[in-house]
A and B are shown apart, each in its own frame.
Chain A
Amino acid sequence: MNEAQIRALAAEVLAGIAPEADLATVGDDEDLREALDLDSMDFMNFVIGLSQGSGRKIPDADTPKLQTMRSLVAYLGG
């Protein structure tokens, strides 16, 4: 996946979890959970959505790498 695809996927998954949240207002290095007020259930659903949308297995130990847009793009693009 390229960066644009990854960002589009993240936005789509988040829209299903936090419909009122606007990803465009979140800086690349901001903690997504803090910025969008995601609880642990929301974040787990975010990981599930990214995993299914990208076709990648995301080990539990790697989930901290999905906490900011910058690290998320690097992880799924790598």
Chain B
Amino acid sequence: MADFLMPALGADMETGTVVEWRVHAGDRVRPGDVVAVVETHKGAIDVECFLDGVIDDLAPLGQALPVGTVLARVRGAGEAAAPAAASSPSPSPSPSAPPSAPPVTPPPAPATAPTATAAAAPPPAAGMALPAAATRARVSPAARRRAAELGVLPDALAGSGADGAVVLADVERAAPAAAPAVAPPAAPAPRPRGFDPALMRQAIAAAMAKSKREIPHYYLQTTVDFAAAQAWLDAWNAERDAIDRLLPAVLLLKAAARALVAVPALNGFFDNGAFRPGPGIHIGWAVSLRGGGLVAPAVHDADRKTLPELMTALRDLVQRARSGGLRSSEMTDPTVTVTSLGDRGAESVLGVIYPPQVALIGFGRVVTRPWVVDGQVLPRPLLSLSLAADHRASDGHLGGQLLAAIDDALQQPASL
């Protein structure tokens, strides 16, 4: 029996609300299946489960649950049905952490038991799906459901179940003797589309404040001659239908991914006082949302995709970022962030790192400016390329190598 936990879908998530189960109790689930839709500050996310077996004890819909809460139990093949939700095994590794992720040190337990509200929950370890589980009181789904009905804070109770888990009986005991029946939670609204701009703002504020509080950034900027890439792109696009054309963004994405293969020390995470390399080049592509807000979901294994594949992936990602339907792995897996301001953006950008990543690569708008080529001043399309990096994990010399590798790649677009 393994627990399926509320994942931390980014550095800024403290609670999530299951708004839809895509499976029924008793269904067989396989690793990677989307089992639930969880509403977060960044909109509704399709949450994948990386366990294999029969899912049961589904958490109720419509309640804000802290990261790390048990959302369901998954019984492996061959395990006997164990109805007692309270016989909890030791905390299992997070379902959506990268396979190679070592356990993180959980945040210190708060002095007082946390309530189920976002305000009191300890901030999750950035980007990791494991955080609070190891220190939080374990509460069975049935107990949590009943606690919500009774207006009791289950995390504050002493548990009498195995491993000290809070079970139904503990909740019943704690209920005020004459507790009036609280109306059950309203039926969950239909799956929301998009996101709430005010909540999105809070989520960004939390993540960026954490970044500036904890990460000693250093910044590098260089100018890239974009003529070769532009000429290659124009030739590619000239003879193709609109659906098969490429945007400059895919060249930038691929060039960044290639460079990170060569300079892997900027692809990964800083946690527990040390750099941990990413398990692949999973580029968090910053997508600005109409109406305000920003998400940077992962383009997985960007170094191994062809340019047309990257274009398809990017189009799909942007569409889902804006209309809902991003997957939990896309929220948790980015090993680095790339932001491209596009052809109506500013000339350059110096980014803020998304913790616990160690680097953010920024591309400005392509501008035509005088430039010296072979001793002559010529009008030339130029692109500002920048790096914001975590000085705990790398130094400027290495950062400079990354920018040089990106520049090199963009001078040979045919090889991308």
Listed in ascending order, the chain A residues whose CB lies under 8 Å from chain B are: 18, 20, 33-34, 37, 39-41, 44-45, 47-48, 51-52, 57-61
Contacts and interface: CB of A to CB of B under 8 A. Distances in A.
Contact of B242 (A33, A34, A41, A58): A58
B314 interface: yes
A39 B242 contact: no
A47, A51, A52, A60, most chain B CB atoms within 10 A: A60
Interface residues on B, range: 20 to 34
B238 A61 contact: yes
Contacts of A61: 238
Contact of B290 (A18, A45, A58, A60): A18
B242, B243, B248, most chain A CB atoms within 10 A: B242
A60 B235 CA distance: 10
Nearest to B234: A60
B247 A51 contact: no
Nearest to B288: A39
B249 interface: yes
B395 interface: no
Given A44-B245, A45-B315, A37 B238 contact: no
A64 B243 CA distance: 17
Interface string B291-304: 10000000000000
Contacts of A45: 315
**Which label, helix, strand, loop or mixed, suits the secondary structure of the A interface?**
helix
A47 B247 contact: no
A38 B343 CA distance: 10
B241 interface: yes
Contacts of A52: 243
Contacts of A34: 344
Contacts of A48: 242-243
Interface in B290-345: 290-291, 314-315, 318, 342-344
27 contacts: A18-B290, A20-B291, A40-B247, A40-B248, A40-B249, A40-B342, A40-B343, A41-B249, A41-B314, A41-B315, A41-B342, A44-B242, A44-B245, A44-B247, A45-B315, A48-B243, A51-B241, A51-B243, A52-B243, A57-B241, A58-B242, A59-B238, A60-B237, A60-B238, A60-B240, A60-B242, A60-B245
A51 B242 contact: yes
Nearest to A31: B344
Interface in B34-84: none
Interface string B201-245: 000000000000000000000000000000000100110111101
A39 B342 contact: yes
Contacts of B237: 60
A37 B243 CA distance: 21
A5 B151 CA distance: 58
A25 B63 CA distance: 41
Interface string B9-24: 0000000000000000
Contacts of A60: 234, 237-238, 240, 242, 245
A41 B318 contact: yes
A77 B237 CA distance: 24
A51 B242 CA distance: 8
Contacts of B315: 41, 45
A39 B248 CA distance: 12
A40, A45, A47, A57, most chain B CB atoms within 10 A: A40
A58 B241 CA distance: 7
